Homo-oligomer: A and B are copies of this chain.
Amino acid sequence: MQLSEITSLTLSDRIFEQLQTAIVKGEIPTGSKISEPELAKAYGVSRGTLREALSRLEERHLVVRSPNHGARVITLSYEELIDIYQVREALGGMACGLAAERMSDAEIADLKRLLDDHERSIREDEGLSYYQQEGELDFHYRILKGSRNRKILGVLEGGLYQLMRMYRYQFSTSSPRPLQALKEHRRIVEALEERDAELADLLMRRHIRSARKSIEERHRKSREQEE
């Protein structure tokens, strides 16, 4: 009958979420070995419950498990981050093109207001606040929802976005170009308003690509400094 939208989460669900945020925030360090008895005691649950959560974490590629050797938190690599940005470029572009055809006028207007908030936040905090970073994700998230394609959102939410957050926490690899990004966001919204799917696709791809390029640039420089 599905009356209650109050989804009473199961204990294993909560452990899964707690572990996920703990890993993403780096509270459980990358590459560290996970001891099941230890973690189970720390979270006050049985090993069975914990193992169920670990299985899901493994499926999300946040932990790696090898039989009889136990589980480890994944280790991040620069190459993987670039890979993720390429996936975002492809899917974000596709979603944005669809959104241009499918978003309601009200949703687009909301998006515009969101950008106004961002602009204010950037001016006040000089664009360094954590809020601004999550705001960037919020912008993309709304467009993904606007695409009306559940799979795109599902793919990005099912692992990829958590990984990006993880990189941000660990390497503070946030976009160092908030004003430029804002300008690009505004152009994207313009394309949405004009219902220009092709342009929206192109602008979104370019937007994500330049974010990636800026990361590549930074990485190149830090490599040079090392030598």
Contacts and interface: CB of A to CB of B under 8 A. Distances in A.
Given A52-B51, A67-B7, A67-B8, A158 B59 contact: yes
Given A59-B158, A67-B9, A67-B10, A86 B52 contact: no
A94 B86 CA distance: 8
Contacts of A61: 154, 158
**5 A-B pairs with the lowest CB-CB distances in the bound complex, closest first:** A90-B94, A59-B59, A83-B151, A90-B90, A55-B55
21 contacts: A8-B67, A8-B68, A10-B68, A52-B52, A55-B55, A55-B59, A56-B59, A59-B158, A61-B154, A61-B158, A83-B151, A86-B149, A86-B151, A87-B91, A87-B151, A87-B155, A90-B91, A90-B93, A90-B94, A90-B152, A155-B155
A83 B160 contact: no
Interface string A102-122: 000000000000000000000
A19 interface: no
A187 interface: no
Interface in A1-49: 2, 7-10, 12-13, 48
A155 B150 contact: no
Contacts of A59: 55-56, 59-60, 158
A12 B67 CA distance: 10
Nearest to A11: B67
A217 interface: no
